[in-house]
Amino acid sequence: MSSLLDTYRKRLIKRMLHTGLLSSQPTVLSIFTTNRCNFSCFYCSRNILDESPDAEYRYDDKSEFHMEELEKILDKYPAIRKVSFVGIGEPFLIKDLIPMAMLAHETGRRTTVISNGSLIHRQWGNIGPNFDDISISLHGLNAVELQNIAKVKENIFNQFVENIRYLVNVEAKEFPNLNVHASVVFLKQNLERVSLAAKFCMENGIPVLDLHNYLSLGPDARHNVVFEDEHEYIDFTEKLIEECKGRLKINPPVWIKRDETEMEWGCISFYHYLRVDGLGQVSGCGRIMPPEAENGNFGSEEDVFQNEYFKSMRASFRTGKGIPACCRYCPDAQ
Ligand code: SF4
Ligand code: SF4
């Protein structure tokens, strides 16, 4: 029943935004904190090769987001209710992360951060009071895997595990409002890894695991995506959720529609989502499209959220014409 109500509510909001009954203003601010990272995962979108068909989605702009930029944006857009500190890079590498989270939190916004978990020990005592959610991306479930994927020394895994345990056993206990999640990509070629990720969470006390469908940027990688008619994978997930019940909450991926004509194209990202980086670049996409110079600049434009780029993207989702190809396999468009 609640999911039916949720669907109805989302459709109503979408309709109100499309018809202008609700005004378009940023309520979510997603900050690309830096493109620097202490990991170098081979699948990272910083490492997409020039010759790859996905090269247009690569993010490798050297920048770092600072406090004064956040102050400027929050002053300009007081309707922002949530501030997310994300990559593509490691947020815990930047100097202003905690002061920025503190500012957002103290002004009543929800604060979230996505991290690889290897550097969070630098901020014990500051995470719980300043963040509502921390999501740890599981890039390696053992020392060898982490070394192979992220090109880091084997001992980084020990630090990572130590950090996770402290996070859930000390930081989150002392600050019970802090929600700790882990996340992993659902790879259909490697279901065992999904089970191992769940086991890792249970062994280390992580209470919630988010499974993400493979985010295909275009048709070339669609074989990695799990479609809603692939019952083998869906049954596997349901069984795992059941097995872990009471010990770990698993949020399943959004399964992708096989038939494009059945899609709702219901994404309202461009109506309420502002993604920014330290160069002032912007995007209105909550998943795939990184901030880019050609989309506008929050530093030099009076109201970047109402510029031609945002208006034309809103028109695309309102009319169904000119929606970018990368949206086809995105959970928000299904
Ligand atoms: S941890 Fe994240 S940002 Fe860093 S290299 Fe890996 S995928 Fe990229
Ligand atoms: S549907 Fe498109 S615009 Fe919306 S979040 Fe997904 S990729 Fe971004």
Q: Is the CB of 327 under 6 A from ligand 1?
A: no
pLDDT 10s digits, 265-303: 888 999 999 999 999 999 999 999 999 999 999 999 999
Q: Is the CB of 285 under 6 A from ligand 2?
A: yes
320: left (phi over 0), alpha (psi -120 to 50) or beta: left
Q: Output the average pLDDT for the chain.
A: 92
- What percentage of the chain exceeds 90 in pLDDT? 77
Listed as own residue / partner, the contacts of 241-249 with beta carbons closer than 8 Å and 24 or more positions apart are 244/198, 244/202, 247/202, 248/198, 248/201, 248/202, 248/206, 248/207, 248/208, 248/209, 249/207, 249/208, 249/209
Q: Do strands 281-283 and 292-297 pair parallel, antiparallel, or not at all (unpaired)?
A: antiparallel
Residue 14 is predicted with a pLDDT of 81
Which residue lies with its CA nearest to atom 7 of ligand 2?
Answer: 327
Q: Is the CB of 88 under 6 A from ligand 1?
A: yes
Residue 219 is predicted with a pLDDT of 60
Q: Is the CB of 217 under 6 A from ligand 2?
A: no
Q: Is the CB of 287 under 6 A from ligand 2?
A: yes
Please give the single-letter amino acid code of residue 192. Answer: E
Query: CA 194, CA 250: separation in Å to the nearest integer?
Result: 11
Which segment of 44-48, 139-143, 242-246, 284-288 scores lowest on mean pLDDT? 44-48
Which residue lies with its CA nearest to atom 6 of ligand 1?
Answer: 41
pLDDT 10s digits, 19-69: 878 889 999 999 999 999 999 998 888 777 777 767 777 777 788 999 999
pLDDT 10s digits, 220-236: 668 889 999 999 999 99
pLDDT 10s digits, 176-222: 999 999 999 998 889 999 999 999 999 999 999 999 998 877 666 68
Query: Please, which pLDDT band fits residue 6 given cuts at 50, 70 and 90?
Result: confident
Higher local confidence (pLDDT), 146 or 62: 146
pLDDT 10s digits, 63-92: 899 999 999 999 999 999 999 999 789 999
Which segment of 7-21, 87-101, 134-148, 290-304 scores lowest on mean pLDDT? 7-21
Q: Which atom of ligand 1 is nearest to the CA of 89?
A: 3
- What percentage of the chain exceeds 70 in pLDDT? 97
**Is the four-CA dihedral 325, 328, 329, 331 of positive or negative sign?**
positive
Residue 12 is predicted with a pLDDT of 84
Residue 177 burial (C-beta neighbours within 10 Å; 0-12, 13-18, 19+): exposed
Residue 114 is predicted with a pLDDT of 98
Q: Are the CB atoms for 209 and 250 separated by under 8 Å?
A: yes
Query: CA 308, CA 313: separation in Å to the nearest integer?
Result: 8
Which residue lies with its CA nearest to atom 7 of ligand 1?
Answer: 44
Q: Is the CB of 313 under 6 A from ligand 2?
A: no
Which residue in this structure is represented by tokens 């110079």? 293
Query: CA 197, CA 185: separation in Å to the nearest integer?
Result: 10
Q: Is the CB of 332 under 6 A from ligand 2?
A: yes
**Is the four-CA dihedral 152, 155, 157, 161 of positive or negative sign?**
negative
For the segment 256-267, the average pLDDT, to the nearest whole number, is: 89
Which residue in this structure is represented by tokens 């790879």? 187
Any bridge partners for residue 227, and if so which?
256
Query: Please, which pLDDT band fits residue 245 given cuts at 50, 70 and 90?
Result: very high
Query: CA 256, CA 39: separation in Å to the nearest integer?
Result: 30
Q: Classify domain 22-41+54-259+271-307 at the CATH superfamily level.
A: Aldolase class I (3.20.20.70)
Q: What is the largest CA-CA distance in the chain?
A: 55
Smallest-distance ligand from the CA of 57 = 2
Residue 265 is predicted with a pLDDT of 86
Residue 3 is predicted with a pLDDT of 67
Residue 158: CB atoms within 10 A of its CB come to 11
